[in-house]
A and B are shown apart, each in its own frame.
Chain A
């Protein structure tokens, strides 16, 4: 049982069914929009005939690229994603037209009547094909299928391999997976009388949604107002695609001057939305006889699919974290993004680190096995410590480097040392083989050198003593609104009941970047602290006289505002009223700027992130000799997140992240035939169920982080990024078989 009760400002709404998600909203006269796909993976000279569809009674319009007043192609980095296809189809998920009708049934029927012809092109479906010198160039921009190449040149590994006792040279592959949020994409857009288009959408980035919509409509950002509503999960997956669903509905609302709703089926969602990048990784690692890693050379290839999305940022993180949490002095890394005609890939919780960790954390166990050392020993020798220099040349001396502490916690809690001795390694008298394995990681918190990193908060005190607060962080279900409220209550020394999280809109709070990259808590709560500081200064200045003290002597605690003595205090009701009588608005606006980071793209060196989250997860498994089935018996996770703000929700993030990682490790894979996705719903795309999981233990380590104004870092992504290699190591220790591709599978014949 989680310690203490949880605070969730949306808990009551969500357990009663009152929480409003996009598809739950309707307005009088709402029209329904449905996307039209074509059965081509790659084709050109597209011709769309919508005459039969438009003749269907109740069908209002069929919209195509020709109807777009703004620009059809957009993207976060390269403007290459066609929100509607003009001439060329590059993937099976491409949308060619939008039917709009009085009812969803009619819109669906009309979609089936849209006739599309095109000249098919042979699709490029593997990275090998795409990299061949004779390959057709897939992207609309540039002249190569290599869409990004990050380099790291840290020391010089080449001459060192000859001096190494042990060389490990291995290849690993990881699969394409789907974010699997429970609520499919949905949007409802309303043309307002003042010319603004209002958007209520299932998306995780209102400001990105506004940019996509502004581009498609050819209108300024101020014409588009995106409201925050309940979102049924995102996990990185509700940026580009979800924003585009909103943009398309907005296009319909603008042209037809009526509210337009577009709600995706699970099949459309999986067919069209971007996925986690499949990787091919090659590592050459040179190790001394004492287990010290002297040199690493690695090459990685990430399938970017037909469109770029955030591939350069995902692969950048793979570069910056290419050696796991190990301080190696000589590293050369080359990380490539490769365009194909597969479904495009983009952000998913983990963002370029789960793939790398799958390789590096198995390599560490392989080193231990070859040198007959303990896996913990090899980790301990090589891991980052206080003052270590990372592979990007960053010196870790300005926060607590707790890698060893975190590992020790997990090792102790699960009893790793004793259990490690009992592993079957393929030999057992019964049908079940037993194994335990672990993995460690460090993760750069927030965006790092990927992007501009700042966030704003507004505190708006009311005449009656109640307080409204909002930040640029978006509630996707993780509980960020609750955390912001708790931080504000702490800063002001008030009762939580006094505070309401204001439902945000893009026309009110400034753009504070995406709620991604484990940055919600660290950036949002720090912006609250800054705004609260200003708010308290304002109140102190204007209340000091009444409290018979100087402004510096005013304090805030026990849900009151105090002077120097116990008989000098004001309730919040009295204090706010006093400010209004003085004609002062109790209002504060704070912006937190992330500490400086740096990056040199020519050699992959710099202070990549301003702080790191340290993690260790361990798993126990049994593998059935006759069936090869892998069963999880126990999982323990330990994470240094700086400071816990909402403990039960923090644990929920850990358990949930692990569970997504379990899916990655054991069952999930987006499958396709000739570029056409075949795993379109949860029958073929299997995600973990209650019975697939063991009981889990989460250990929270709190080393206050000096870069965060609350001391808190974050947990979203660290929770997911390392359980797959922990399970792979456990499966190896059970069976003696090293699985170098995901999802892990054991062929029982190999156990005979």
Chain B
């Protein structure tokens, strides 16, 4: 069995003791990926959402072991190597979807996996896809705006929906 996880397109070797840790703790404490947020530790708020093989997953609810051999993308993996940001990230800024920012990384990762499957989601589809991500600041309206705006950016500017680290 594999003893590595691909994190933001780079292989990371996992030790025996780390296998039983929560993936959230591993990403935050061992990998210093602080964009993965801890809001409830019970899989209820979505702040710790990551992409695991292109599916939105709560990293607090799974162990490191379950991620072995798989590809994890966190919000840190969304920007490109040259420091420019993914259309989703730009759209979150432009649409006013960011306030306190604590839910933002999880929102972006859930939106990312949505756009991979559905490049042109309706507002209802966006709402359904983000049902598991709580936000207390925005009332979600401008977050829905942002996801649709990102879809527009990708389509109109012929951009790739893939995370920056995969390019």
A contact residues vs B (CB 8 Å cutoff) = 1-2, 5-6, 8, 10-21, 23-24, 179-184, 230-233, 235, 265-266, 476-479, 648-649, 651-652, 654-660, 681-683, 687, 689-691, 693, 695-696
CB atoms of A10 and B101 under 8 A apart: yes
Given contacts A1-B95, A651-B142, A696-B141, contact A266 B42 (CB under 8 A): yes
**Cβ-defined partner of B41 (8 Å) among A1, A266, A477, A654:** A266
Tell me, in angstroms, the Cα distance from A285 to B96 when the chains sit together: 43
CB atoms of B142 and A682 under 8 A apart: no
Given contacts A16-B89, A231-B100, contact A689 B134 (CB under 8 A): yes
What would 18 more interface pairs be, CB under 8 Å, given A477-B102, A479-B99?
A6-B93, A11-B92, A20-B34, A182-B37, A182-B39, A182-B134, A183-B39, A230-B100, A232-B39, A266-B39, A648-B95, A652-B97, A652-B138, A655-B139, A656-B137, A659-B138, A681-B40, A683-B42
**Cβ-defined partner of B75 (8 Å) among A12, A16, A181, A658:** A16
CB atoms of B140 and A21 under 8 A apart: no
Main SS at interface, chain A = loop
CB atoms of B34 and A689 under 8 A apart: no
Given contacts A2-B142, A16-B35, A648-B142, contact A182 B136 (CB under 8 A): yes
CB B45 to nearest CB in A, in angstroms, measures: 6
CB atoms of A477 and B101 under 8 A apart: yes
Given contacts A655-B139, A690-B140, contact A2 B145 (CB under 8 A): yes
Tier of interface size on chain B: 35 or more
CB atoms of A8 and B93 under 8 A apart: yes
Residues of B within 8 A of A19 (CB): 101
Tell me, in angstroms, the Cα distance from A660 to B89 when the chains sit together: 25
Tell me, in angstroms, the Cα distance from A660 to B101 when the chains sit together: 17
B contact residues vs A (CB 8 Å cutoff) = 33-42, 44-45, 47, 74-76, 78-79, 85, 89-90, 92-105, 108, 123, 126-128, 130-145, 149
CB atoms of B95 and A6 under 8 A apart: yes
Tell me, in angstroms, the Cα distance from A660 to B138 when the chains sit together: 9
Tell me, in angstroms, the Cα distance from A656 to B76 when the chains sit together: 26
Residues of B within 8 A of A695 (CB): 123, 141
Tell me, in angstroms, the Cα distance from A20 to B35 when the chains sit together: 9
CB atoms of A181 and B95 under 8 A apart: no
Taking CB as reference atom, which chain B residue is nearest A11? B93
Chain A CB within 10 Å, residue with most, of B99, B127, B131, B144? B99
For the complex of A and B, the 8 pairs showing the least CB-CB separation, nearest first, are: A17-B35, A477-B100, A655-B139, A232-B102, A14-B101, A648-B96, A659-B139, A682-B44
CB A3 to nearest CB in B, in angstroms, measures: 10
CB atoms of B99 and A652 under 8 A apart: yes
CB B147 to nearest CB in A, in angstroms, measures: 10
Taking CB as reference atom, which chain B residue is nearest A180? B136
CB A309 to nearest CB in B, in angstroms, measures: 21
Given contacts A181-B136, A182-B47, A183-B39, contact A2 B95 (CB under 8 A): yes
